[in-house]
Structure 1
């Protein structure tokens, strides 16, 4: 179900960006105000564009979200505060803590909106560290920073 919701969010988000881009170009007089002037194929091109956006929206959640491993030495009680403070430095706040599992969300409303409210990073305790689940772009950055931080300790 998460996958379908993400795909729909991306479809709406990309569609709005395209419409905004075309409106701006039209307002500045860079393109005409008629669909036949804006697109080479006229109104038929709109369906092709919608299909391309739909395909991209359907594929991106599979590629852009996932789970990565964070290797951290030590007990949970030793590393918990380091993880929470490092995440706070990156603009995340602790949303939920269940046992040794942590869930973080972005603090700022604008950042959350730009991430389409798909900003949650979930740290699930596993042997030798954590599995970090969320947007891959964010989780890779966080994991890299945390591994560097704990390597120095």
Structure 2
């Protein structure tokens, strides 16, 4: 069987190099998070790149079930910071904990016209694929 996508390498070494040396524009897509069931039904979109001011629920890890607004998206480290998800240092200073976007679910989107157009584009493509699938049968 042929590779699913010829643009992505199947070599572990090359895949890791591509991941860790990816530019910010590519990291944005890698840092996508799934939408909640309600949002998924509303927009007909499964996941979307996360951004500041989205509201999320953590679904994996030691901070599971905590909710909050995304305060920053740290693309260099592939993590996001969520409000009230912090750790106290020995000095008493509170620092935000980095959470990978795959471990959260977006519960509320920060919408502007650019993001709405992205959602519409993804939805249109998905509907077109489903229609093509039905026509093939």
TM-score range, shorter chain: under 0.3
Larger Rg: 1
- Higher share in strand: 2
- The TM-score normalised by the length of structure 2 is 0.21
Flag the structure with higher helix content.
1
Report the TM-score when normalising by structure 1. 0.20
